[in-house]
Amino acid sequence: MLLLVGLGNPGREYERNRHNIGFMAVDAIVRRHGFGAFRPRFDGHLADGNLDGRRVLAFKPMTYMNDSGRAVGAAVNFYKMPAKDVLVLHDEIDLAAGKIRVKRGGGHAGHNGLRSIHAHIGDGYGRLRLGVGHPGDKGRVASHVLKDFAKADNEWVEKLLDAVADHVGLLAAGDDANFASRVALDMNPPKHKPKPENLNDKDSEEKNDDGL
């Protein structure tokens, strides 16, 4: 079983915040793969489903970002899950907008939601880092992540959420590299060059036009 955790803040005023892209991604996965309805559990919202034959619980802590670990810890303890079976989806300012990175274990890099999860279940869980870009000034980070995505961001945000939902089965199976490659390809599909004109055919047409 896999616990798929999206991080964010509850309440309509936070719905489109950059900080809530983890919630958005989990919602997209639940819709795409026909999970059951979210129901209140463990100070959060929990939906049951499966990905490629593996049972997956999608979870959104409703404790606010800085206390996410309390809700995640309650779910992990109830299901007696090892930390390695937890995958957290969260915003990442140190990645360019629309970029992703999969990480298994390691530090929290100052992210308050991850810091809280570390405190409750340790550092052995996986995480999908969803790039929202950096404001360029350390002093503006809080206001940056707590502001809504701009209208100009909507196209790449929706494309990213679709790509994550489409390929999350690979992530659930532990195929991180293939998942990352597929998402990157969806975000930046190859540009098709126009087919070069066949010079021989052109010459032939010109000759026919001359009656030769």
Q: Where are the beta strands (DSSP E) in 19-98?
A: 39-41, 44-51, 54-61, 86-92
What is the DSSP annotation of 155-188? HHHHHHHHHHHHHHHHHHTT-HHHHHHHHHHHHS
- Cα separation of 37 and 183, whole Å? 26
Q: Which two tokens stand for residue 111?
A: 């992210």
Which one of the listed residues 19, 90, 111, 144 is annotated catalytic?
19
Identify the helix (H) or strand (E) that includes residue 13. none
Identify the helix (H) or strand (E) that includes residue 193. none
| 45 tagged catalytic | no
Say which residues have a Cβ less than 8 Å from residue 135's Cβ, sequence separation at least 6.
Answer: 93, 141, 143, 144
What are the Cα distances from residue 178, in Å, to 120, 131, 173, 174, 181?
30, 18, 10, 9, 5
Q: Are 60 and 6 within 8 A, CB to CB?
A: yes
Helical spans, DSSP H, in 83-146: 112-121, 141-145
Catalytic residues: 19
